[in-house]
Amino acid sequence: MKVQSLILVAIFFYIAYTELVNGKPHKGCQTRCGDVTVVYPFGTSQGCYYADDTSFHLTCNDREKLLFDIDTEVINISHSGELRVMNNISYACYNKQGILSDYRYSTYTLGKLSLSGNNTFTLVGCNALAYLSIFGSQNYATGCMSTCDSPSTENGDCNGAGCCSTDVYVPLDSYEFRTGPSRLENTTSVYDFNPCIYAFMAETGTFHFDPLEDLKNLRNVSQFPMVLDWSIGEQTCNEVGNRSICGMYNSICINSASGTGYNCKCLKGFEGNPYLSNEQGCQVYSDPSTCRNKVGGFECKCKFGYRLDTTTMSCKRKDFGWATILLGTTIGFLSIMLVVSCVQQKMKHRKAAELRQKFFEQNGGGMLIQRLSGPGTSNANIQIFTEEGMKTSTNGYGESRILGQGGQGTVYKGILPDNSIVAIKKARLGDNSQVEQFINEVLVLSQINNRNVVKLLGCCLETEVPLLVYEFINSGTLFDHLHGSFSSLSLTWEHRLRIAVEIAGTLAYLHSSASIPIIHRDVKTANILLDENLTAKVADFGASRLIPMDKEQLTTMVQGTIGYLDPEYYHTGLLNEKSDVYSFGVVVMELLTGQKALCFERSQQSKHLVNYISSAMKENRLHEVIDAKIINENSWKEINEAVRVAMECTRVTGEERPLMTEVAAKLEGLRVTKAKHQWSDQYPGEVTENLVDVGILSAQGDTSSTGYDSIKNVASMHVAAGR
């Protein structure tokens, strides 16, 4: 009995092995990974791929991406022997002095695959060249060069002006290829519109050159699709004979066109997977009740009164029609459609409700409810808007309603049912940290009741990306008025002093009068909105932090905007209200000078506005840096006092800076009483102590990355501590 059991087990494993070798993977194999269909001889688990070659083993990761080798993403598998994968772009980036600042040269190991001839090697860049090296028993290299002095105003061909391409000859025994670009000498004139050059291998026809967009940033893509050829084994069809893995019925073996080995193909009139011999293999395209497969072909039979349609390989009724049958069929069909429609409608409503709940949780709804119900949030008054209401108020998110666009979201003008006008920010979130910043902005703004803070009316969380609804501020940002589209509208000294007083009062309120102290953490002119009366409204609380009553400071990841960032906070990671004081000081300097906080057109020692004003004060030439639009006999003393206030705020050491309540009181005094007292006695120290730490300026190139956006179209710069 024991011997019989062992024999049965052996027979079972023999049959299983024979089926796998003959193109029958075991049942239960994964057939999809994300949007990609997994077809045999490829597979994702043991027993699902061609057992004699582990190169057919693919991996479906937790993000539902199908991977070949270690990290190469597969986007399509073809029975004909083609494998489409995503291939990294090689690039080289230069600063305005022509010094290489960042680069990546790509190397791709082919292994048992081969590079298809249906690929094109392309270079994008001005005054640049790129090379392609293919390695095998015989090495091969090619490349191209492009030249230009300016981007074309029209879409161009890839013909050597800003873009060049070349067809690739691929040796059959290749095992690796490498790509890389480099810039020609003496080409600094192109760095403003073409800071980076790119080289890549891509499937022919998938890249179309757009000089205005591609020379600037190559559409923010890092990969292009590439075609690889695959085959079975290293023997030809004649050499492998009847041992090929092609399906037993209706498929043939063909030699690989691009390398060693062979592929399988369905006979004419059949379709399916030629590597399988089961119901998924090569089958005749017909009605299965009419035609059936047999070895070497198929046979079809039709019932009396029917004929065989050779186009569709199915039986058709002979040319006669009965009105009663047609009428009955129509009524039956309509009845079935009515029932199906009712069922679909109910399922659609249920699915929509489930989807809204999914988006609500995905966009941090649970986190928001938990925090709003926590201590200190009893005064929160947030209106929850519906998806349909948001779509109606923005006219279906029409382009004519767009107020501004940024790297992290879009702001639309919305008209609510009561005809009130609002600003609707449609965020663009990609990970949990950004969801938390979004919820943080809702939480912080719900605690604030101040006329100089942009008012949050509510939010909508049941859409794919969350929406914030604000009061509508129609006159742009302070940055726009000083440096941008509104700069032609002159701001007088009285306007600027009043705006500074309003901002200072708002920050003092956040630090001292709010129910829970709030540190804004990203005070800058781009986050100050102005209404029709030029009243200041502080916006963008996505980076803000609530400070518990029992703490004076928090340890956080360094975050802010280069030029406004507190140097002490940058070096220690310790956040307190003096960080906002520093940033406010830089804003006051912008109001006084009309200059940007960070300008690389100024001298090395004066790139930062704080250094720029410090140098002017030491050299007794303050009148040269103050905006000429605001200088007159009646304002000069107040301007001098405002400069001293700004310098006190921007001291390197936080302990030496005043509190925002003191700053607000001093500026209000300048505005109302024209006070003549010097303020610096309260905070002794030399002006030179305000010089900005060189470390922050040097870090601006490598350690900043776009983060959670404000309500306006200006991206924050997040500085990662320790880099």
Same domain, 622 and 579: yes
How many CB atoms neighbour CB 138 within 10 A? 10
Positions of E strands within 491-625: 518-519, 528-530, 536-538, 545-546, 554-555, 574-575
Taking residues 44-70, report their average pLDDT. Answer: 87
Could you tell me the CA-to-CA distances from 85 to 74, 171, 201, 563 in Å, in that order? Answer: 4, 20, 11, 42
- In the block, tokens 């009515």 appear at 338
Residues 707 and 720: beta-carbon distance below 8 Å:
no
Q: Is the pLDDT of residue 590 over 90?
A: yes
Q: 374: pLDDT confidence band, cut at 50, 70 and 90?
A: low
Same domain, 519 and 430: no
Residues 442 and 370: beta-carbon distance below 8 Å:
no
Task: Tell me which residue of 644, 653, 655 sits closest to 687, measured CA to CA.
Answer: 644
Question: Among 33-42, 95-104, 553-562, 693-702, which stretch is predicted with the lowest mean pLDDT?
Answer: 693-702
Assess if residue 338 is contained within a domain.
no
CA gap 208, 448 in Å, rounded:
50
Same domain, 199 and 100: yes
Q: Would you state the pLDDT for residue 678? A: 39
Q: 300: pLDDT confidence band, cut at 50, 70 and 90?
A: low
Question: Using the 8-state DSSP alphabet, how is residue 43 labeled?
Answer: B
Question: Among 201-205, 503-507, 551-555, 568-572, which stretch is predicted with the lowest mean pLDDT?
Answer: 551-555
Residues 139 and 132: beta-carbon distance below 8 Å:
no
Q: Would you state the pLDDT for residue 207? A: 92
Catalytic residues: 522
CA gap 36, 290 in Å, rounded:
32
CA gap 58, 35 in Å, rounded:
15
Taking residues 162-176, report their average pLDDT. Answer: 84
Q: Measured in whole angstroms, how far is the alpha carbon of residue 503 from the centre of its chain? A: 33
Assess if residue 98 is contained within a domain.
yes
Q: Is the pLDDT of residue 695 over 50?
A: no
pLDDT: which is higher, 669 or 1: 669
Which residues are within 8 A (CB) of 134 and not within 5 positions of it... i.e. 6 or more apart?
115, 140, 141, 168, 170, 171, 174, 176, 177
Q: Would you state the pLDDT for residue 544? A: 75
pLDDT: which is higher, 413 or 465: 413
Same domain, 153 and 220: yes
Q: Is the pLDDT of residue 122 over 70?
A: yes
Same domain, 541 and 677: yes
Q: What angle do CA 362, 366, 370 make, to 5 degrees?
A: 150
Q: Would you state the pLDDT for residue 685? A: 47
Taking residues 472-479, report their average pLDDT. Answer: 88
Same domain, 450 and 490: no
The pTM of this model reads 0.47
Residues 402 and 690: beta-carbon distance below 8 Å:
no
Terminal Cα distance for the chain, rounded? 71
536, β-bridge pairs: 530
- Measured on CA atoms in the order 388, 392, 397, 401, is the torsion positive or negative? negative
Q: 478: pLDDT confidence band, cut at 50, 70 and 90?
A: very high
Q: Measured in whole angstroms, how far is the alpha carbon of residue 441 from the centre of its chain? A: 21
CA gap 594, 23 in Å, rounded:
74
Q: Measured in whole angstroms, how far is the alpha carbon of residue 431 from the centre of its chain? A: 10
Q: Is 682 exposed, middle or buried (0-12, 13-18, 19+ CB in 10 A)?
A: exposed
Q: Would you state the pLDDT for residue 474? A: 82
Q: Would you state the pLDDT for residue 502? A: 95
Q: Is the pLDDT of residue 19 over 50?
A: no
CA gap 126, 212 in Å, rounded:
12
Q: 315: pLDDT confidence band, cut at 50, 70 and 90?
A: low
- In the block, tokens 């008209």 appear at 415
Taking residues 340-367, report their average pLDDT. Answer: 84
Question: Among 230-239, 248-257, 436-445, 659-668, which stretch is predicted with the lowest mean pLDDT?
Answer: 436-445
pLDDT: which is higher, 709 or 238: 238
> Residue 228: enclosing H or E segment and its boundaries?
strand 223-229
- In the block, tokens 């928001």 appear at 368
Question: Among 95-109, 142-156, 457-471, 684-698, which stretch is predicted with the lowest mean pLDDT?
Answer: 684-698
**φ and ψ at residue 269, rounded to 5 degrees:** 95, -5
Residues 13 and 3: beta-carbon distance below 8 Å:
no
- In the block, tokens 């400070």 appear at 547
> Residue 520: enclosing H or E segment and its boundaries?
none
Q: Would you state the pLDDT for residue 276? A: 87
CATH number of the domain that residue 515 is part of: 1.10.510.10
Residues 384 and 458: beta-carbon distance below 8 Å:
yes
- In the block, tokens 């559409």 appear at 219
CA gap 344, 342 in Å, rounded:
5
CA gap 3, 612 in Å, rounded:
94
Q: Is the pLDDT of residue 411 over 70?
A: yes
- Residue % of the chain over a pLDDT of 90: 28
Highest mean pLDDT among 184-188, 463-467, 693-697: 463-467
Same domain, 622 and 538: yes
Q: Would you state the pLDDT for residue 415? A: 93
Q: Would you state the pLDDT for residue 680? A: 44
- Measured on CA atoms in the order 157, 160, 163, 169, is the torsion positive or negative? positive
Structure tokens at 540: 């963008």
Q: 22: pLDDT confidence band, cut at 50, 70 and 90?
A: very low
User: 234-292: per-residue pLDDT in tens?
Assistant: 889 999 988 888 877 778 899 988 778 899 998 877 788 899 877 778 877 655 555 66
CA gap 436, 111 in Å, rounded:
43
**Single residue among 77, 111, 139 that ends a domain in this structure:** 77
How many CB atoms neighbour CB 503 within 10 A? 27
Question: Among 117-126, 244-253, 616-625, which stretch is predicted with the lowest mean pLDDT?
Answer: 244-253
Q: Is the pLDDT of residue 635 over 90?
A: no
Same domain, 534 and 682: yes
Q: Is the pLDDT of residue 704 over 80?
A: no
In Å, the largest CA–CA distance within the chain is 115
Taking residues 522-544, report their average pLDDT. Answer: 87
Assess if residue 262 is contained within a domain.
no
Positions of E strands within 137-194: 140-146, 163-167, 174-183
Taking residues 331-360, report their average pLDDT. Answer: 87
Q: Would you state the pLDDT for residue 705? A: 33
Task: Tell me which residue of 508, 509, 514, 504 sits closest to 446, measured CA to CA.
Answer: 514
Q: Would you state the pLDDT for residue 606? A: 80
Q: 715: pLDDT confidence band, cut at 50, 70 and 90?
A: very low
Task: Tell me which residue of 436, 646, 461 sits closest to 546, measured CA to CA.
Answer: 436
Assess if residue 301 is contained within a domain.
no
CA gap 273, 285 in Å, rounded:
13
Same domain, 452 and 546: no
Which residues are within 8 A (CB) of 663 and not within 5 positions of it... i.e. 6 or more apart?
504, 508, 581, 584, 645, 648, 649
Q: What angle do CA 702, 703, 706 make, to 5 degrees?
A: 105
CA gap 434, 493 in Å, rounded:
39
Assess if residue 38 is contained within a domain.
yes
Question: Among 166-175, 425-434, 467-476, which stretch is predicted with the lowest mean pLDDT?
Answer: 425-434
Q: Would you state the pLDDT for residue 449? A: 79
Taking residues 22-46, report their average pLDDT. Answer: 83
Q: How many residues are given for the chain?
A: 723
Same domain, 39 and 129: no
**Single residue among 197, 229, 261 that ends a domain in this structure:** 229
Provide the b/e sequence for 325-363 (b: ≥16 CB within 10 Å): eeeeeeeeeeeeeeeeeeeeeeeeeeeeeeeeeebbebb
**φ and ψ at residue 501, rounded to 5 degrees:** -60, -45
Residues 56 and 29: beta-carbon distance below 8 Å:
no
User: 505-527: per-residue pLDDT in tens?
Assistant: 999 998 887 767 888 888 999 88
Assess if residue 276 is contained within a domain.
no
Same domain, 165 and 22: no
Same domain, 694 and 586: yes
Q: Is the pLDDT of residue 491 over 90?
A: no
Question: Among 77-81, 438-442, 569-573, which stretch is predicted with the lowest mean pLDDT?
Answer: 438-442
Q: What is the domain count for the chain?
A: 4
Q: Would you state the pLDDT for residue 495? A: 92
Helix (H, G, I), strand (E, B) or coil at 119: strand
Task: Tell me which residue of 269, 507, 516 sits closest to 379, measured CA to CA.
Answer: 516
Assess if residue 146 is contained within a domain.
yes
Q: 59: pLDDT confidence band, cut at 50, 70 and 90?
A: very high
Q: Is the pLDDT of residue 719 over 70?
A: no
Assess if residue 237 is contained within a domain.
no
- Residue % of the chain over a pLDDT of 70: 78
> 15 lies in which domain range?
1-77
Mean pLDDT score across all residues of the chain: 80
**Single residue among 455, 471, 487 that ends a domain in this structure:** 471
